Chain A
């Protein structure tokens, strides 16, 4: 049975996040390619967003007018989005085992052409999803004037894209308080630690100077995440940026905080160990 979307306790949400992590491992080991690190590290954010009563969505009616929308700007992290959507009841969980396969609705990077329920936009070229989310938030707030909110998640390496800052400038310019971006701040990207590849810090000061409301929190702590999303909803006149400090690969000891796990799947043996660490045998 899918998990309901209500204000579960932080402990319950942590348990849901653990199931999301298991499903990430289960789907990646069958896919034999794909990204482990970012998806595992951000599972708590997804559990809280989709099953913590934060987003207003209906898995039975994914195109519900006036719904809150989520855009995965870091498209490569889609294994976590797919696992979350399946656990929230958007589509069958067994479909997770088709990840990246020929003809699957679970494309290597989200593809809107495959009409997977819950996928609001194709993404995969870093930076672009954030601007799409700004456009959606403008549509909701400035044109339709409804109460819908738009969430977008970016990687921290992704913040190196110049277009990110164009999106941020425009969200603040229009005072989009229905817009909430989450930075998955795992400090890792493909070639190494983020400051070694191209420094992005300090982050808080950057976003504040762009006129964002900034919340920093432990992105692997469901209680802190719930509080952060509450604060974002209560913020008026400004968009919010939640800087969620996470560990890449969180939940699997041999992947934790290792940038080498950005873009590879576990082998069968590694998946076994990972699943055991996550409390199940398969």
Chain B
């Protein structure tokens, strides 16, 4: 697959939602004071009568959405994932899911690539929570166009659904021809030596890693799982049988996340060695998206390293004990966020202050 530019998945959500509004007048949208950054502003401009500003009150907006859904509307509520997946978790569980209310949630600014806003805004635990909720459909599109298709798809299905999207521009590589069906994974690259199973923009990183591996004669199958729930367990079991080793990749916590879901499907059907690329039980921090993706081990190189490791485990070359949160091999573990005072040593800052004071005095 090749890229044709880059665009953030949040635009796919916003444009998809505006298009849905055209098709179905039951669609209503609730705003949480960040309509510009999650692009519900596009719907608001086109359909001001079906847009309702709810202020900064995510628990209320979620529950109000349930009430609208129980009155025959198809409400979308979008905010940052930190506030519309976790802040309102009880509301999602009882009022939305237990009610089987036809509520759609758009969770923006997900993953570590949010960047300088830091840990509070980098939601990494949403996948773990949401795929545990009965009746919930959970979609994590891999690029802008898939986000658009997925938004339209969840608007047309009946039942609670959550779509996870990102803030940063990421490569666009799916096209109008790329198949998309909720609950159905897609093989984006063929191969039988190992399977890379990924969700979200990490699918692209998996494709890049596969190209590198191919140079060494390792043919990786790359599977895009845009729907984490309901999970395409068949395509995963088949990959386990045919490839014999699996690496998962996600921009989220590996504990309870996407990799855990894939692992359950694998272990149930055809246990094979697995490795998990994701955030290793730690919080994020401020920085540029590129710095953070590298520090937290979320690049194609990290997937490549994990493939090497899983193949060593399969061949018996490596069989030591490893912790759940251990990613990569010796010397290649993610660094995660720097300890305070390491990037900007306090002595240097004190010295800079001293110099500034001296200059002022002079």
Contact = CB atoms under 8 A, between A and B. Distances in A.
Prevailing SS type, chain B contact patch: loop
Given A191-B53, A198-B55, A102 B288 contact: yes
B157 to A, nearest CB: 29
Given A93-B353, A95-B349, A34 B56 contact: no
Interface string B59-99: 11000000000000000000000110001000000000000
Contacts of A98: 343-344, 349
A175 B340 CA distance: 39
A267 interface: no
B57 A103 contact: no
Contacts of B60: 162
Interface stretch (B27-35, B212-220, B266-274): B27-35
Contacts of B349: 91-92, 94-95, 98
Interface in A173-204: 189-191, 196-198
B286 A104 contact: yes
Interface stretch (B112-120, B252-260, B299-307): B112-120
B352 A104 contact: no
Contacts of A108: 116-118, 120-121, 286
Contacts of A191: 31, 33-36, 53
Contact of B285 (A75, A92, A111, A116): A111
A160 interface: yes
The secondary structure that dominates the A interface is loop
Interface string A25-65: 00000010110000000000000000000000000000000
B149 to A, nearest CB: 28
A161 B286 CA distance: 25
Contacts of B295: 102
Given A114-B340, A191-B31, A100 B118 contact: yes
Interface residues of A, number: 43
B118 A190 contact: no
Contacts of A240: none
B344 A95 contact: yes
A58 B346 CA distance: 19
Contacts of B117: 33, 108-109, 124
A126 interface: yes
B352 A122 contact: no
A118 interface: no
A115 B31 CA distance: 35
Contacts of B183: none
A125 B344 contact: no
Contact of A158 (B56, B116, B287, B288): B56
Interface string A205-249: 000000000000000000000000000000000000000000000
B82 to A, nearest CB: 7
Point out which of B82, B285, B350 has the most chain A C-beta atoms below 10 A from its C-beta: B285
Q: Nearest 10 pairs between A and B by C-beta? A: A198-B55, A103-B343, A124-B120, A102-B287, A160-B55, A108-B118, A94-B352, A103-B338, A100-B116, A92-B349
Interface of A: 1, 31, 33-34, 75, 91-95, 98, 100-109, 111, 113-116, 122-127, 157-158, 160-162, 189-191, 196-198
